[in-house]
A and B are shown apart, each in its own frame.
Chain A
Amino acid sequence: MNIHFEKRKSLSRTALVLVPLASLAASLVLTGIILILSGADPFATYRAMFRGAFGSFRAFTETLVKAIPLTLTGLGVSVAFRLKFWNIGAEGQLTVAGVAAAAIALFLSPFLPAWALLPAAVIAGALAGAVWAGIPALLKTGLKVDETLVTLMLNYVAILFSEYLYYGPWRDPKGYGFPGTAPFPEAAWLPRIAGRAHAGLWVALALALFLWLLLARTRWGFELSIIGNSPRAARYQGIAVERNIVLAVLLSGALSGLAGAFEVTGISHRLQQGLSIGYGYTAIIVAWMSQLNPLAIPFVALLMAALLVGGDQVQMAMGLPAAMGFVMQGMILFPMLAGSLFTEYRLKIARA
Chain B
Amino acid sequence: MELVTSILAIAIRAGTSLVYATLGEIYTERAGILNLGLEGIMLMGALSGFATAYYSGSVALALLAALAVGAALAAIHAFLTVTMRANQVVSGLSITLFGSGFASFLGQRLGPISNNHRLVGLSGPRIAPIGVPGLSELPVIGALFTQDILTYALYALIPLAWFYLYRTRHGLNLRAVGEDPQTADAMGVDVFKVKYLATIAGGALVALGGAQLSLSYTPGWSENITGGRGWIVIALVIFAMWNPARAVWGALLFGGINAVQFRLQASGTTIPAGFLNMLPYLATIAVLVAMTFWESLSKRIGAPAGLGNAYMREEK
Contact = CB atoms under 8 A, between A and B. Distances in A.
Interface string A149-173: 1101110110011011001100000
Nearest to A281: B97
A145 interface: yes
B75 to A, nearest CB: 12
A325 B105 CA distance: 9
A17 interface: no
A11 B281 CA distance: 39
Interface in B73-127: 76, 79-80, 84-87, 89-91, 93-94, 97-102, 104-105, 107-109, 117
Nearest to A150: B285
B234 interface: yes
Interface string A8-30: 00000000000000000000000
A230 B86 CA distance: 18
Interface residues of B, number: 46
Interface residues of A, number: 48
A153 B284 contact: yes
Given A164-B274, A337-B91, A153 B282 contact: yes
A6 B272 CA distance: 58
Nearest to A4: B314
A206 interface: no
A162 B80 CA distance: 37
Given A143-B289, A153-B281, A284-B97, A168 B105 contact: no
B30 to A, nearest CB: 18
A330 interface: yes
A320 interface: yes
B12 interface: no
Nearest to A345: B85
Given A160-B274, A323-B101, A327-B102, A88 B93 contact: yes
A41 interface: no
B250 to A, nearest CB: 13
Point out which of A4, A143, A321 has the most chain B C-beta atoms below 10 A from its C-beta: A321
Contacts of A154: 281, 285
B274 A153 contact: no
B231 interface: yes
Contact of A161 (B105, B107, B274, B289): B274
Nearest to B273: A164
A284 B93 contact: yes
Interface of B: 36, 76, 79-80, 84-87, 89-91, 93-94, 97-102, 104-105, 107-109, 117, 228, 231, 234-235, 238, 272, 274-275, 277-278, 281-282, 284-285, 288-289, 292-293, 296, 312, 314
5 contacts: A6-B314, A321-B107, A327-B102, A331-B98, A338-B79
